[in-house]
Amino acid sequence: MAILVTGGAGYIGSHTVKALQRQGRDVVVLDNLYKGHRQAVKDAPLHVGDLGDPAFIADVFGQYSVDAVVHFAALSLVGESVQRPDLYFRNNTAYAMNLLDAMVKHKVDKLVFSSTAAVYGEPHSVPIDEDHPKAPTNPYGESKLFVEHILRRYDTAFGIRSVSLRYFNAAGADPSGEIGEDHQPETHLIPIILQTLLGKREHIEIFGTDYSTPDGTCIRDYIHVNDLSDAHILALDALAAGGSTTAYNLGCGQGFSVREVIRTVEKVTGRTVPVVESPRRPGDPAVLVASSERIKRDLQWNPQYENLETLIASAWQWHQAHPDGFSQ
C-alpha cells in the first residue's frame, strides 16, 4: 500500500517524502514540475503530470494500491494570487477536486492537506488558534480555505477523512544537505537573506519599518520544514487509527521580527547582511504567530527545531552547498 504525495518535488513535499522514506514507507510522487525539482525526489517513483488532467490521475491511481494521499501540489505566491485569481482557484481548488474524485472512485479515504496561515487573514488576536475567524485577504488563502470546506463535505458525503495542516512560515533544510529550499522566484525572507550573503543579491529589502511592533518590522512564526514533515506523518497515522476530519496550526508559537531574523542570520554566519529599508509589501499582516497547542495535545507533535539559530544554520548549510539551488 502506497502513500501518494502530490507536489512531492516541491519544498515541503520533498522533505515529507524523505521523512516517509526514512520510516520505510512506500511513497509515490506526483508533480507537474512547474515549481518542483526532479532532483528533489531521490528514491521514489515520480509521475510527472498535472492534477488538471483527470486521465493522468486515473492512470496513477490505477498503477498503485494507494492507501492515503498527502496533497501539497498548489501555487503559493500571495501577490501572484491577487493578480491571477483564476490560476489559484483553478489549480488549488478545482484541481484538488479532481484528486478527491479519484479518491472517491478508488475508495481511498485518508488525506492530509497542505493548508496555510493565510486562511485567517489579518489576525484579531495572537497567538492564532484554529478557532480564530477565517477571513483570507487574498485568493491564495481563499483557494486553500475553499478546499478545507470541500473536505468537510466530502467526509460527510463520501467518507474521506482529512487533516488540514495550516503552516505558518516554513523554513530550513534537511540536515542531510541533500534537499532544501529552492523557489523560482524566491520571495521568502530567510532564503533571500542567505542569497544576499552568497552574493546573489546586493542587499535585503526590509518591507516596512513602521508596523506597530517593538522594532517596527513584521513578526512571523518560523517553523522548520522537518517539523512540518513530522506533523504530516503523525496526521497520516491518526487517520489510519480512525481519526476524524480536523485542522491544525503548525508553528513554533514564537514570533521573530524581520530585524531579529537578520540579526540571527548574522550571528549564525558571522557575516554582515546589507540592508535597505523599503515601504511595506501590500497585504502583509504585522504579526502572525501560531498557537499549535491542539496538534501537540492530540497528536503529540513535538517540534525539534524551535531554536531560530538551529533552523537558520540548517538553511545556511543548504544554501552554501547549493548557491544555485537544484540547478547546479
Annotated catalytic sites, by residue?
A: 140
The residue with its CB nearest to ligand UFG is: 218
Is there binding between residue 319 and ligand UFG (CB under 6 A)? no
List Cβ neighbours of 29 (8 Å cut-off, separation of 6 or more): 4, 5, 6, 8, 9, 13, 17, 41, 44, 45, 46, 47
* Closest to 88 (Cα-Cα) out of 68, 109, 118, 63: 118
Listed ranges 22-30, 65-73, 200-208, 308-316: which one lies at the site for ligand UFG (CB under 6 A): 200-208
Residues 267-296 binding ligand UFG (CB under 6 A) are: 281, 284, 288
- Quick note: the x/- pattern for ligand UFG over 77-96, rule CB under 6 A, is -x------------------
Nearer to ligand UFG, 20 or 117 (CB): 117
Using alpha carbons, list the distances in angstroms from residue 287 to 26, 126, 253.
Answer: 39, 8, 12
Nearer to ligand UFG, 192 or 273 (CB): 192
- Exposure string of 297-311, with b = 16+ CB inside 10 Å and e = fewer, is eebebebebeebeeb
* Closest to 112 (Cα-Cα) out of 267, 233, 266: 233
Give the amino acid at 56. F
Q: Shortest distance, CB of residue 33 to ligand UFG, whole angstroms?
A: 20
Q: Shortest distance, CB of residue 55 to ligand UFG, whole angstroms?
A: 30
Q: Helix H segments across 119-177? A: 139-158
Which one of 2, 41, 66, 189 is in contact with ligand UFG (CB under 6 A)?
189
Which one of 15, 161, 166, 220 is in contact with ligand UFG (CB under 6 A)?
220
Is there binding between residue 99 and ligand UFG (CB under 6 A)? no
E strand or H helix that includes residue 310: helix 308-321
* Closest to 307 (Cα-Cα) out of 223, 218, 250, 249: 223
Which one of 26, 80, 148, 205 is in contact with ligand UFG (CB under 6 A)?
205
Is there binding between residue 192 and ligand UFG (CB under 6 A)? yes
The two beta strands, 219-220 and 256-257, are antiparallel
Which one of 114, 143, 164, 169 is in contact with ligand UFG (CB under 6 A)?
169
Nearer to ligand UFG, 61 or 113 (CB): 113
Nearer to ligand UFG, 78 or 99 (CB): 78
Is there binding between residue 188 and ligand UFG (CB under 6 A)? yes
Q: Shortest distance, CB of residue 144 to ligand UFG, whole angstroms?
A: 8
Is there binding between residue 116 and ligand UFG (CB under 6 A)? yes
Cell 517540534 locates to: 303
> What is the side-by-side order of every strand in the sheet holding 46-48?
46-48, 27-31, 2-6, 66-71, 110-116, 161-167, 246-250
Listed ranges 48-56, 187-195, 233-241, 292-300: which one lies at the site for ligand UFG (CB under 6 A): 187-195
Tell me the C-alpha distance between 181 and 138, whole Å: 24
* Closest to 172 (Cα-Cα) out of 211, 222, 221: 222
Residues 6-45 binding ligand UFG (CB under 6 A) are: none
Give the amino acid at 104. V
Which one of 30, 111, 128, 204 is in contact with ligand UFG (CB under 6 A)?
204
Give the binding site for ligand UFG (CB under 6 A): 76, 78, 116-118, 140, 169, 187-189, 192, 204-207, 218, 220, 258, 281, 284, 288
